């Protein structure tokens, strides 16, 4: 809380704009994580960043200056592409060497308008800083925060004392006229990517979320004059990441369809298998025959290897956690009188039912659905554009904002990043991530224990 208090002085130097009945996009700041950053197909790259929902919203609203941490191809991490279709098995690999990627807007002399940090949790939003020099020195322990936040500390102009330049403080320092806040996905996403619902490790405890979320929103409300919109957290169990590979194998020698053998026994039809399991299954894991290793179901704390199976009770626990977060978000919004954009409902409808555009049906199907990118968790450019359409509709309905409706025509027929990637498969249930692709993906979205602190540790940290 001390850090937040310090930020007040930064903001105090700036002249607050009067509240407006309509939205003012002069200084629009988007806070969030990978979904806000425009993360697509396992990487952060300029051609997709420019189609992130904040960038598209800013363009539709006519924002004059919307700065982003643009990264040249092939992106950081490199976006995925298909290396092979041999045998009808699509294999995804990085499109290039991420060392070739360059953050060419890194010298922009102010915080970015898009402060979405891939992998960021609610805790990170409040307390984590980044240092571009750390990255330039070759350290990759905090890549995304280093790339996007860049400066770890600034001097409080009133006290002369250094203060942490977190994403939240950077947003406040911009004296925003409009803020969107979409945070919380990574407080539970690790339970899906690691296929392990573990309190305090892959899922932020509800009481921690209940403490931190109002603090973040309260800081924005009290220290800015911005209109603020809060987003709900999507049900991460909807992702094609766990809906593409079925919990069974078709092995004619065993009589046809047989359940995958997991480390806790045969999988039932309501088990969810992660996309990363494809490589394991190709190696013979899960074949229900003696001599074949079972498919690991849970996160291995010793080796860091993820699990690959979500049992129904784990799915329920994750969904309950998302519901608890969203209840907190709604309660917080009510307390501060802020509108809530129900991103969870929008994404659920898009993934499950899809949208038709001129006779073209788009939905959440992996590889051919058109909305979800190759990492099976994040949208691709079309998905972000459709999401932005709903966001614009919401803002126009809520504020009478008069934002120009999103035109999806060009992006429907023209992927701005193609042919950055080269080819993708058509047998999604058998897709394979190369070890490099899987590793890059896991580095970003696997849980890291320090990101989730129990309340007492958080409190201690905040008063450092």
Q: Which stretches of the chain bind other proteins, using CB under 8 A?
A: 82, 85, 90, 355-362, 367-370, 373, 380-382, 386, 389, 404-409, 412-415, 418-419, 421-426
**Does the CA dihedral 403-405-409-411 come out positive or negative?**
positive
The count of residues in the chain is 464
Burial environment of residue 446 by CB neighbours within 10 A (0 to 12, 13 to 18, 19 or more): middle
Q: Cα 405 to the chain's mean position, in Å?
A: 24
Residue 443: CB minimum distance to other proteins, A: 24
Residue 80: CB minimum distance to other proteins, A: 11
Nearer to other proteins, 90 or 98 (CB): 90
Nearer to other proteins, 49 or 196 (CB): 49
Residue 86: CB minimum distance to other proteins, A: 11
Residue 351: CB minimum distance to other proteins, A: 15
Residue 373: CB minimum distance to other proteins, A: 8
Nearer to other proteins, 252 or 358 (CB): 358
Nearer to other proteins, 258 or 412 (CB): 412
What interhelical angle do 2-12 and 206-223 show, nearest 10? 20
Question: What value, to the nearest 5°, has the Cα angle with vertex 108 and ends 107 and 112?
Answer: 125
Nearer to other proteins, 318 or 385 (CB): 385
Q: Are strands 91-94 and 80-84 parallel, antiparallel or unpaired?
A: antiparallel
d(CA 32, CA 309): 28
Nearer to other proteins, 320 or 356 (CB): 356
Residue 17: CB minimum distance to other proteins, A: 29
Residue 366 is encoded by which pair of tokens?
A: 């992996």
User: Do 345 and 232 contact (CB within 8 A), yes or no?
Assistant: yes
User: Do 21 and 163 contact (CB within 8 A), yes or no?
Assistant: no
Residue 359: CB minimum distance to other proteins, A: 3
SS3 call for 178:
strand
Nearer to other proteins, 252 or 359 (CB): 359
d(CA 232, CA 345): 8
DSSP per position, 302-360: TT-PPP-EE-HHHHHHHHHHHHHHHHHHHHHHHHHT--EE-HHHHHHHHHHT-EEETTE
């Amino acid at each position: 809380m001390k850090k937040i208090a310090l930020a007040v002085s930064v903001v105090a130097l700036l002249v607050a704009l009067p509240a407006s009945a309509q939205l003012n996009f002069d200084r629009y700041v988007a806070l969030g994580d990978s979904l806000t950053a425009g993360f697509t197909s396992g990487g952060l790259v300029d051609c997709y960043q420019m189609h992130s929902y904040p960038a598209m919203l800013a363009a539709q609203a006519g924002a004059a200056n919307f700065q982003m941490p643009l990264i040249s191809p092939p992106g950081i991490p490199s976006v995925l592409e298909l290396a092979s279709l041999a045998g009808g098995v699509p294999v995804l690999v990085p499109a290039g060497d991420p060392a070739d990627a360059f953050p060419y807007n890194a010298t922009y002399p102010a915080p970015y308008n898009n402060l979405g940090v891939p992998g960021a949790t609610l805790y990170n939003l409040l307390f984590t800083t980044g240092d571009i020099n750390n990255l330039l020195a070759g350290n990759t322990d905090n890549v995304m925060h280093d790339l996007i936040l860049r400066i770890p500390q600034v001097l409080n102009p009133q006290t002369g004392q250094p203060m942490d330049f977190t994403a939240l403080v950077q947003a406040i320092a911009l004296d925003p006229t409009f803020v969107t806040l979409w945070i919380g996905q990574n407080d539970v996403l690790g339970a899906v990517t690691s296929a392990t619902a573990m309190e305090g490790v892959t899922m932020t405890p509800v009481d921690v979320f209940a403490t931190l979320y109002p603090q973040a929103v309260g800081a924005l409300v009290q220290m800015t004059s911005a209109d603020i919109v809060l987003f709900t957290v999507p049900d991460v169990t909807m992702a094609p990441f766990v809906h593409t590979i079925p919990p069974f194998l078709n092995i004619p020698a065993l009589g046809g369809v047989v359940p995958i053998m997991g480390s806790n026994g045969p999988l039932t039809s309501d088990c969810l298998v992660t996309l990363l399991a494809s490589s394991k299954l190709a190696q013979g894991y899960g074949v229900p025959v003696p001599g074949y290793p079972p498919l690991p179901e849970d996160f291995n704390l010793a080796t860091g290897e993820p699990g690959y199976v979500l049992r129904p009770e784990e799915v329920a626990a994750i969904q309950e956690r998302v519901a608890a977060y969203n209840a907190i978000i709604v309660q917080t919004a009510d307390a501060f009188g802020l509108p809530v954009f129900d991103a969870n409902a929008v994404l659920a409808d898009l993934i499950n039912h899809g949208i038709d555009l001129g006779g073209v049906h788009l939905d959440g199907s992996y590889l051919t659905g058109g909305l979800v990118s190759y990492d099976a968790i994040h949208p691709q450019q079309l998905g972000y554009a459709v999401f932005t359409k709903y966001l614009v509709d919401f803002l126009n309905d809520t504020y009478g904002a008069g934002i120009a409706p999103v035109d999806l025509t060009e992006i429907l027929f023209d992927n701005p990043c193609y042919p950055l990637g080269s080819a993708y498969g058509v047998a999604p249930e058998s897709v394979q991530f190369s070890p490099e692709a899987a590793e890059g993906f896991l580095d970003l979205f696997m849980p890291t224990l320090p990101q989730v602190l129990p309340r007492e540790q958080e409190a201690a940290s905040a008063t450092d």
